[in-house]
Amino acid sequence: MRAVALLPRPQVPLPPQIEFHLVTAKTIQRIHLDFLQEETPTDVITFPYGEIFICPAVAETQRKEYQRKLYEEVLLYGIHALVHLKGYEDHTPREFKQMQKIQEKILDQILNRS
């Protein structure tokens, strides 16, 4: 496995308040359409002011691909959202790999796997 060269770390403070919402596939699909003009459900949507929407139904489907338990997949989405709030993006393959590496490391630490 090839090492990922880290991009410079953004210096973005977290919002003073962060809210997590667990929502249905229908709700996240509506949010996805309203704010991102995408018509499909998605796993997590993060707003810069600290509001995070996570869809456990999508997590249930995706967890099987990565051989995770449901709570691990949902937790990963929350971590992913927090990494976004710290200023990281995942629009390019390099950014995506960096975020993936960061969030997997945090997940492993939380689950005492490192």
Q: How sure is the predictor about 66, in pLDDT bands with cuts at 50, 70 and 90?
A: confident
Distance between CA atoms of residues 90 and 82, nearest Å = 13
- Residue 13 resides in a domain: no
- Residue 10 resides in a domain: no
- Residue 63 resides in a domain: yes
Mean pLDDT for the chain overall? 90
Length of the chain: 114
> How open is the CA angle 62-81-65, to the nearest 5 degrees?
15
Q: Tens of pLDDT along 43-56?
A: 999 999 999 999 99
Pairing of strands 51-54, 44-46: antiparallel
- Residue 5 resides in a domain: no
- Residue 4 resides in a domain: no
Q: pTM for the complete prediction?
A: 0.87
Q: Looking at the 3D structure of the chain, how many domains does it have? A: 1
Q: Select the more confidently predicted residue: 9 or 3.
A: 9
Which pLDDT score is estimated for 114? 62
CATH of the domain at 47: 3.40.390.30
What tokens does 45 get?
């949507």
